[in-house]
Structure 1
Amino acid sequence: MRHVFADCELDTDTLTLTRQGRPVTVEPQVFDLIRLLAENSGRVVTRDEIIEVVWKGRIVSESAISARIAAARKAVGDDGKQQAVIRTVARRGLQMVSETGVPTPPCPASQRIRYTADDEGRAIAYTVTGSGPPLLRVGYNTTHLEAEWNTPSERQCFDRLARQFSLLRFDPVGFGMSERCDIAVDFSTLAENALRAADAAGFETFAAYSESGGVHTALALAAHHPDRISKLAIVGGYANGRARRGARPPDTFHSLVSEGWDTPASPFAAALLYSYFPEGPLDAVQAMGRNMQQASSKANLLGIRTAIDEISAIDLLPRITCPTLIIHARDDAVHPLSEARKLAAGIDGAEMVVLETANHIPIPGNPVWEDFMTLLEDFLRS
């Protein structure tokens, strides 16, 4: 049995506890205490019940009981003052006050890759996981369905969304598991790739969430096909590329790609991503670098970079009519908050939320990741 409460998941079959998707090590008695409270969520569990279950009825000191309660609170991200998850009921016992439920089944261990084609007959790879309302993910263009699926930091996001939605992911032509060929980067063409994947998956009207450079693909899709997009989430977006913002500093991105892109597990790939994710975690950033190397040739990656440097979405914004949520990092050093404000001001009725991080996009292990996922899920479900 698995219990979900706050940002935690307790699995009584594998005897594991995770918080924000990361394992939490606890002593057996602490685990038993959390389990007892989760199985009796909302009910006050008496001191005698706690002693009977956790200590098997043995005589135990008050200090030992207090130590286990403190450890349980720490494990679930709570404390004695806040008591948002485990509440002390004076002279009676403990009560789990955070809503507890049984999660829906997780995504399968493997994914099914399918193919459709663009107007030129070039293969477009796509996959659908989970069940529920249709949701299209428009990644940062240089995607690789298989590599991302096997990357823990990416998979946590996919699994979480797939518990509530039918999640469609795709690789554009030229990238990932789609037909590998040199392309002339055009965001309207990339939007048509996304639409072909949606058609093949049987999605008629669907929500979309987009990340970084993929935002411009999603904006083109929403502007050119307003009847297909029910709502749009923009994460790490920007109205104007770097070349459109005035004087541009020397582009170390081109230098790093030119020097080290063709070397497997090149430190150059990770180095260029550190500017996007200065808060880490390090292992996730390194994995994203490896994925990008698998996903794209040097020529196509430099083509994408040039396109996003030169892009301006200002003229498209008035044509976007679906509910839109813009999520941006306050201290994003790559695409400043001012560019997200331009998106919000240009799309009628758009809302913006600012997260307190320097990471371009929140990823698991980043302190704001749980808040980010909650914002995204609430918007897409509403």
Structure 2
Amino acid sequence: MRYKFGQCELTPAARELVVAGGLRPVEPQVFDLLHHLVKEHDRVVSTDELINVIWNGRIVSESAINSRISAARSAIGDDGQRQEWIKTVRGRGFRFIGAVTAVTPAAGEAPESSTAGRQRIGFCRSADETRIAYATMGSGYPMVKAGHWLTHLEHDMRNPIWRPFLDELSRRFHLVRYDQRGNGLSDWDVTDFTLDRFVDDLEAVVDSAGIDRFALYGMSQGVPIAIAYIRRHPERVSHLILQGGYEKGRLVRSAAEREQAEAIITLIRHGWGKRDSAFIDAFTTMYIPGGDREQIDSVADLQRHSTSAANAAALRAAVDHFDVSALTDKVRVPTLVMHSRDDGVQPLDQARQIASRIPAAEFVLLESRNHVILPQEPAWRVMFSEIERFVLGT
């Protein structure tokens, strides 16, 4: 069943709201409220009924209800003055007014599929005019994934490491992600890889995607980028998820780690994208020691598609210099920190440091050796359950 009214189409099964032909991101609770009002459009829905249906009978303030009603109106182009679609019936509740057409799939017709698994790619310009490619996919609460090393928006959809991850996220969220500068479909011919420029790129993507408030997901080097972004725009981030990341990069942590970082950069210059090379063996052992044959074999192709050896080395050197230790304890956004127990890329102590310095941060230890959690391991389900619980409250 789906519902059409004005320029809007609401599909509950896929949790999609389309307005004037474009997918409109809506918070889960607001979507449920809108769905209930549309479904019951032939009568007044009391406040008590909304509390029972949407909030499961919990005690809810009048201001919280009015806030959700206002968000539902805004999503469909209505407001409290016009009340073109959602009318307040004083002393009784709310009613969805106007013509609503309920469309039932014909016999034998396949149910409409969700937008999960399909993406739309666009481009925007960062502050220094670097062209940044970004993609949107899925429906539900908006989530922005900060850029990190080794992605390619189009190739990722065929990659056995990234495709399952993206499918899982887009089943739950309206996901916005991008290729960072020097990488993927974004401009490769760049030289400025400072932290501020990476934050500029994230800033440009968020503005271009038209998202006002969202959950921000930082993975690996995306963690310091996300922390630095919140320093600029704390009001735009509703939830912060930090996974497998660090506060200080290898080149600014210790002498032993500096030596390791320099060795990795040398290997990158000589073995990037070369199948059966010593570098690929070392890389997969660090990043996905629990990977299966298909996942391990895919790494060389992903490297070749994502960027050049020169850019890979320059990016690695840049992110290993990141240091957000002066910003971490200033984060005032609800935060979930996750890290693999035996992560071979970033030490567990970095995650514990971040979690201990962000006020009221939650910490989840993932029982894994992999830097990128893989579908075949138990930590996969734990990770997505924790993300869903943290952001959606389910």
When normalised by structure 1's length, the TM-score is: 0.68
User: Hey, what's the Cα distance between the residues in 1 that align with 2:360 and 2:117?
Assistant: 39
- Structure 1: state its 5+ residue gaps: 1-102
Match of 2:243 among 235, 240, 246: 235
By how many angstroms is 1:333 displaced? 2.7
Kept in 2: contact 1:182–1:299 (CA 8 A): no
The alpha-carbon distance between structure 1 residues 197 and 180, as it changes in their structure 2 partners (threshold 3 A), is: same
- Structure 2: state its 5+ residue gaps: 1-110
By how many angstroms is 1:167 displaced? 0.5
Q: How does 1:212-251 map to 2 (within 5 A)?
A: 212-248=220-256, 249-250=259-260, 251=262
The alpha-carbon distance between structure 1 residues 166 and 345, as it changes in their structure 2 partners (threshold 3 A), is: same
- In the alignment, residue 228 of structure 2 is paired with which amino acid? A
- In the alignment, residue 294 of structure 2 is paired with which amino acid? D
Query: Is 1:150 matched up with 2:158?
Result: yes
- In the alignment, residue 313 of structure 2 is paired with which amino acid? L
User: Hey, what's the Cα distance between the residues in 2 that align with 1:134 and 1:311?
Assistant: 27
Match of 2:142 among 126, 134, 137: 134
Kept in 1: contact 2:228–2:327 (CA 8 A): yes
User: Hey, what's the Cα distance between the residues in 1 that align with 2:378 and 2:270?
Assistant: 33
What residue is the counterpart of 1:162 in the other structure?
A: 170
What residue is the counterpart of 2:204 in the other structure?
A: 196
Kept in 2: contact 1:123–1:178 (CA 8 A): yes
By how many angstroms is 1:316 displaced? 1.0
By how many angstroms is 1:106 displaced? 4.2
Kept in 1: contact 2:160–2:294 (CA 8 A): no
Kept in 2: contact 1:184–1:303 (CA 8 A): no
Deviations 1:331-361 (A, max 9, x none): 1233211111110111111111111111123
The alpha-carbon distance between structure 1 residues 111 and 339, as it changes in their structure 2 partners (threshold 3 A), is: same
When normalised by structure 2's length, the TM-score is: 0.66
User: Hey, what's the Cα distance between the residues in 2 that align with 1:123 and 1:242?
Assistant: 28
Match of 1:206 among 214, 219, 244: 214
By how many angstroms is 1:162 displaced? 1.4
User: Hey, what's the Cα distance between the residues in 1 that align with 2:297 and 2:226?
Assistant: 26
- In the alignment, residue 261 of structure 1 is paired with which amino acid? W
User: Hey, what's the Cα distance between the residues in 1 that align with 2:281 and 2:186?
Assistant: 24
Kept in 2: contact 1:105–1:163 (CA 8 A): no
Deviations 1:236-271 (A, max 9, x none): 011222233322234431232121226478663453
By how many angstroms is 1:206 displaced? 0.8
RMSD over aligned CA atoms reads 2.2
- In the alignment, residue 293 of structure 1 is paired with which amino acid? R
Deviations 1:66-91 (A, max 9, x none): xxxxxxxxxxxxxxxxxxxxxxxxxx
By how many angstroms is 1:131 displaced? 1.2
Match of 1:337 among 343, 348, 364: 348
What residue is the counterpart of 2:286 in the other structure?
A: 275
The alpha-carbon distance between structure 1 residues 334 and 262, as it changes in their structure 2 partners (threshold 3 A), is: closer
* Structure 2 residue matching 1:175: 3-state secondary structure: coil
What residue is the counterpart of 1:112 in the other structure?
A: 120
User: Hey, what's the Cα distance between the residues in 2 that align with 1:338 and 1:294?
Assistant: 32
Identity %: 33
User: Hey, what's the Cα distance between the residues in 2 that align with 1:339 and 1:375?
Assistant: 20
Match of 2:323 among 312, 328, 331: 312
The alpha-carbon distance between structure 1 residues 302 and 326, as it changes in their structure 2 partners (threshold 3 A), is: same
Kept in 2: contact 1:328–1:354 (CA 8 A): yes
By how many angstroms is 1:227 displaced? 1.3
By how many angstroms is 1:193 displaced? 0.7
User: Hey, what's the Cα distance between the residues in 2 that align with 1:357 and 1:219?
Assistant: 24
User: Hey, what's the Cα distance between the residues in 2 that align with 1:265 and 1:189?
Assistant: 34
What residue is the counterpart of 2:383 in the other structure?
A: 372
Query: Is 1:299 matched up with 2:310?
Result: yes
Deviations 1:298-328 (A, max 9, x none): 2222122222322222101122111110001
